[in-house]
Structure 1
Amino acid sequence: MKRLASALVVATLLAGCGARGDLKPPPGEMLPVKPYGAPATPTPADLLKPGAQARPDRSDELLKNSEERGQDPFDLPPPN
């Protein structure tokens, strides 16, 4: 019984990982309408591409220019 259950689990996992193809809308359905102000209707590949807010670029450089700090008018000695 355990062999049958494990074989069924393995067969289910193998069946679900093999189908990869181009994305198309279901029969009778259409792609979303063109967004307001967009030059063209986006393709399925365009819709799957993450935007700049979803995947921002990483910036490792924290300091771009090394500059002397100016005089701080609020840097006062402690009160007596």
Structure 2
Amino acid sequence: MRITLGRGLALGAIALALASCGGRQPLKPVEGQKMPAVPVGAAAAPTAQQLMTPSIQARPERNVELLTQSQERRDDPFDLPPERQPQ
């Protein structure tokens, strides 16, 4: 059975649509497995939602100001030409 390009793309689109329509339910541990250990110094074990939320270090906010006007670069005293190596 030969599959044409159009049918191949259609099958790929259907497969992608089916793969992306998963259920949205709260995370639960698999039966027979324990929850993660309580971290040292924590009062309680973190919930599934807390484990899935990235920390500030993992996802920092952008705090860089974008230039609105071009400016001349200041002189950099450390921008030195490379030394010549003897041949």
- Corresponding residue for 1:7? 10
> Structure 1 residue 37 and structure 2 residue 41: aligned?
yes
Q: Distance in 1 between matches of 2:31 and 2:7?
A: 37
TM-score normalised to structure 1 length:
0.60
Q: State the superposition RMSD in angstroms.
A: 2.1
- Corresponding residue for 2:85? none
The structure with the largest alpha-carbon Rg is: 1
Structure 2 gap ranges (5+): 66-87
Identity, in percent, stands at 38
Opposite residue 55 of structure 1, the aligned amino acid is R
- Corresponding residue for 1:21? 25
Q: Distance in 2 between matches of 1:23 and 1:40?
A: 18
TM-score normalised to structure 2 length:
0.56
Structure 1 gap ranges (5+): 62-80
